[in-house]
Structure 1
Amino acid sequence: MSEAYQRLRSSLTAMVLAARGKVTFPQDLARHLKINKNLAWRVSKIIEAPTPEAGIPHLPGAGGLKLLLDAARNAGSSDDVIERVESAHAAFLEMVQTHAGDQETLQLLLDGRSDGDALAASRRMAFRGNSGIVGVQARAKLTASFLAPSAEDPDKLDSLLIGGFVDVCRLRPAEGWPLFRIRHYLGHDGPAAAQQLDAQVMYDRFGQLDEFDDESCSDLLLERDEHGLTYRLGPGRVGKTGTFSTYFGSPLLGVFDRYASPEDPMGEIYSIVEVPVETLLFDMFIHRDLGYGSSLELSVFERPGGGLDDHLVRTKRQHLPISIQPERLRGSPERCISPVCPRYPEVIRRTTAATGWDLGAFTCYRFVLTYPPLHSTAIVSFPLDERPET
Structure 2
Amino acid sequence: MHGLRNALTELLDSVEADPSVPRRLARQLGVNKNLAWKAAKIVSTPDAAEALPHVPGRAGLKIFLEAMERAGASTDALRAAREACDAFDTMVELHAGDRGTLELMVGSSFPGGAESPLQEANRKLSFQGNSSTWGVQARVRFGAQFVAPCAEDPTVIDYASIGGLCDFRRLRGDAKWPLSFNVRYDGEGRRKDDVAKPIERSLEGRDGPAFLLDHCTDPLPEIRAVEVPLGTVYELAEGEVGNTAAFSCAFAWFVRREQSVYGNDDEPSVAYNIPLNTPTELATMDLLIHKDVPWELPPRVEVTSRMEIGVGGGSYKQSPYLLPVPPRLEELGPGRDQLGGNEVPRWTEMLGKVCQRLDWNLDDFRVFRMSLRYPPIPTIPSLVVTKPRRG
TM above 0.5: yes
Note closer, same or farther for the CA distance 1:379–1:110 as it changes in structure 2 (3 Å cut): same
Which of the residues 322, 346, 362 maps onto 1:319?
322
Q: Distance in 2 between matches of 1:277 and 1:26?
A: 35
Which of the residues 11, 14, 29 maps onto 1:15?
11
Q: Who is 1:197 aligned against? A: 196
1:25-36 superposed matches below 5 A: 25-36=21-32
* Cα deviation 1:73-103 (Å, max 9, x = unaligned): 1221023321221111111111111110111
Note closer, same or farther for the CA distance 1:197–1:86 as it changes in structure 2 (3 Å cut): same
Q: Distance in 2 between matches of 1:252 and 1:347?
A: 18
1:137-286 superposed matches below 5 A: 137-174=137-174, 176-182=176-182, 193-198=192-197, 202=201, 204=203, 205-215=208-218, 217-223=220-226, 225=228, 227-286=230-289
1:279 maps to amino acid: L
Work out whether residues 136 and 175 of structure 2, in 8 Å CA contact, stay in contact via their aligned partners in 1. no
* Cα deviation 1:114-156 (Å, max 9, x = unaligned): 2333453332222111111111110010111011111122221
Q: Distance in 2 between matches of 1:191 and 1:267?
A: 19
Percent identity over the alignment is 30
Query: What is the Cα deviation at residue 357 of structure 1?
Result: 0.5
In structure 2, the residue corresponding to 1:106 is in which secondary structure? helix
Q: Distance in 2 between matches of 1:295 and 1:183?
A: 28
* Cα deviation 1:183-225 (Å, max 9, x = unaligned): 679x856787243125887453441122222135213223455
Q: Distance in 2 between matches of 1:48 and 1:175?
A: 45
Work out whether residues 200 and 212 of structure 2, in 8 Å CA contact, stay in contact via their aligned partners in 1. no
1:42 aligns with 2:41: no
Work out whether residues 309 and 377 of structure 1, in 8 Å CA contact, stay in contact via their aligned partners in 2. no
Which of the residues 88, 106, 115 maps onto 2:111?
115
In structure 2, the residue corresponding to 1:272 is in which secondary structure? coil
Q: Who is 1:295 aligned against? A: 298
In structure 2, the residue corresponding to 1:273 is in which secondary structure? coil
Q: Distance in 1 between matches of 2:197 and 2:176?
A: 21
In structure 2, the residue corresponding to 1:195 is in which secondary structure? coil
More helix by share: 1
Q: Who is 2:351 aligned against? A: 348
Query: What is the Cα deviation at residue 347 of structure 1?
Result: 1.7
Query: What is the Cα deviation at residue 27 of structure 1?
Result: 3.5
Q: Distance in 2 between matches of 1:67 and 1:117?
A: 34
Work out whether residues 200 and 252 of structure 1, in 8 Å CA contact, stay in contact via their aligned partners in 2. no
Note closer, same or farther for the CA distance 1:286–1:224 as it changes in structure 2 (3 Å cut): farther
Q: Distance in 2 between matches of 1:174 and 1:96?
A: 42
Work out whether residues 298 and 379 of structure 1, in 8 Å CA contact, stay in contact via their aligned partners in 2. yes
Work out whether residues 276 and 379 of structure 2, in 8 Å CA contact, stay in contact via their aligned partners in 1. yes
Name whichever of 306-315 and 362-371 sits farther off: 306-315
Unaligned runs of 5+ in 1: none
Name whichever of 228-237 and 346-355 sits farther off: 228-237
Which of the residues 50, 64, 68 maps onto 1:54?
50
Query: What is the Cα deviation at residue 378 of structure 1?
Result: 1.7
Q: Distance in 1 between matches of 2:219 and 2:95?
A: 50
Query: What is the Cα deviation at residue 326 of structure 1?
Result: 1.1
Work out whether residues 217 and 243 of structure 1, in 8 Å CA contact, stay in contact via their aligned partners in 2. no
Q: Distance in 2 between matches of 1:159 and 1:177?
A: 27
Which of the residues 377, 380, 385 maps onto 1:382?
385
Work out whether residues 111 and 120 of structure 1, in 8 Å CA contact, stay in contact via their aligned partners in 2. no
Query: What is the Cα deviation at residue 231 of structure 1?
Result: 2.3
Name whichever of 21-30 and 341-350 sits farther off: 21-30
Q: Distance in 2 between matches of 1:328 and 1:351?
A: 20
1:211 maps to amino acid: D
In structure 1, the residue corresponding to 2:77 is in which secondary structure? helix
Q: Distance in 1 between matches of 2:191 and 2:315?
A: 15
Q: Distance in 1 between matches of 2:202 and 2:112?
A: 40
Q: Who is 1:135 aligned against? A: 135
Normalised by the length of structure 2, the TM-score is 0.89
Name whichever of 219-228 and 11-20 sits farther off: 219-228
Normalised by the length of structure 1, the TM-score is 0.89
In structure 2, the residue corresponding to 1:357 is in which secondary structure? coil
Unaligned runs of 5+ in 2: none
Q: Distance in 1 between matches of 2:214 and 2:366?
A: 26
Query: What is the Cα deviation at residue 318 of structure 1?
Result: 1.7
Note closer, same or farther for the CA distance 1:78–1:116 as it changes in structure 2 (3 Å cut): closer
Q: Distance in 2 between matches of 1:31 and 1:109?
A: 35
In structure 2, the residue corresponding to 1:208 is in which secondary structure? coil
* Aligned CA-pair RMSD: 2.6
Q: Distance in 2 between matches of 1:12 and 1:315?
A: 49
Work out whether residues 222 and 229 of structure 1, in 8 Å CA contact, stay in contact via their aligned partners in 2. yes
1:47 maps to amino acid: V
Q: Who is 1:126 aligned against? A: 126
Work out whether residues 159 and 252 of structure 1, in 8 Å CA contact, stay in contact via their aligned partners in 2. yes
